[in-house]
């Protein structure tokens, strides 16, 4: 059984880039769901220097997944901020729906995901 977590991006633009590296044709119909993390909520952070050498390469995928799985098992926070491998200066947020504080994160309504038609499509 896999680890349950929600993978999010700090902006819609970053989410679009993350989608493009995972699904270069943007083949699926996507929606954006805004999530508002309360200002006082504990957010653990992983810095690029905390990651294994070559962490931006696909060969490091299992090591990165292990970091996320360890965070879930520790049950130490509802939010883990991690650098984006697409743009390391940007941040993605992993959310732990099984953490008691997760219910304090305000989830908005799903919104239509509109992109420029020049982006790769099927």
Residue 87 lies in a domain: yes
The model's confidence at residue 40, banded by pLDDT at 50, 70 and 90, is very high
How many separate domains does the chain show? 1
For residue 46, pLDDT over 70 is answered with: yes
Residue 68 lies in a domain: yes
Question: What is the extent of the structural domain holding 66?
Answer: 6-112
Q: Phi then psi for 107, rounded to 5 degrees?
A: -100, 125
Q: Which residues contact 12 (CB under 8 A, 6 or more apart)?
A: 32
For residue 13, pLDDT over 90 is answered with: yes
- What is the reported pTM? 0.88
User: What H or E segment, with its residue span, contains residue 106?
Assistant: strand 106-107
Residue 120 lies in a domain: no
At residue 120, the pLDDT reads: 73
Q: Which residues pair with 81 in a beta bridge?
A: 45, 93
Residue 91 lies in a domain: yes
pLDDT exceeding 90 applies to what percent of the chain?
70
Residue 23 lies in a domain: yes
For residue 38, pLDDT over 60 is answered with: yes
Residue 117 lies in a domain: no
Residue 63 lies in a domain: yes
């Amino acid at each position: 059984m896999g680890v349950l977590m929600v993978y999010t991006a700090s902006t819609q633009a970053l989410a679009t880039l993350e989608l493009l590296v995972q699904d270069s044709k943007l083949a699926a119909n996507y929606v954006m769901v805004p999530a508002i993390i309360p200002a006082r909520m504990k957010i653990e952070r992983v810095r690029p220097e905390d990651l294994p050498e070559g962490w931006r390469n696909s060969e490091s995928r299992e090591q990165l997944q292990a970091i996320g799985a360890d965070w879930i098992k520790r049950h130490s926070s509802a939010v883990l901020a991690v650098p984006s491998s697409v743009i390391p200066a940007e941040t993605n947020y992993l959310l732990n729906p099984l953490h008691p504080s997760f219910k304090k994160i305000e989830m908005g309504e799903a919104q239509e995901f509109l992109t420029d038609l020049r982006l790769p499509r099927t």
